[in-house]
Amino acid sequence: LADTASIASIGKAPTTTAFVGATPNPATPGAPVTLTATVTGFAPGGTVEFRDGG
């Protein structure tokens, strides 16, 4: 996983973007990882959900 990766352009405003990051990067297999999400743009709102395996 890249330090910061563009995941999707969401919403109706073309300038709304979601980014996700992982720490540490690179991660050791089986070790804990912290995921963060940032949504920017015109009136961002809602929920970001991370799922393991799907």
Phi-psi region of 16 (alpha: psi -120 to 50; beta: other; left: phi over 0): beta
Per-residue pLDDT tens over the stretch 13-52: 567 788 889 999 999 999 999 999 988 887 767 888 888 8
CA–chain centroid gap for 31, Å, is 19
Number of domains present in the structure of the chain: 1
Instruction: Quote the domain boundaries for residue 41.
Output: 1-54
- 35 contacts 22 by C-beta, under 8 angstroms: yes
Nearest-CA neighbor of 38 among 16, 19, 24? 19
Per-residue pLDDT tens over the stretch 4-13: 555 555 555 5
Six token digits for residue 50: 């991370």
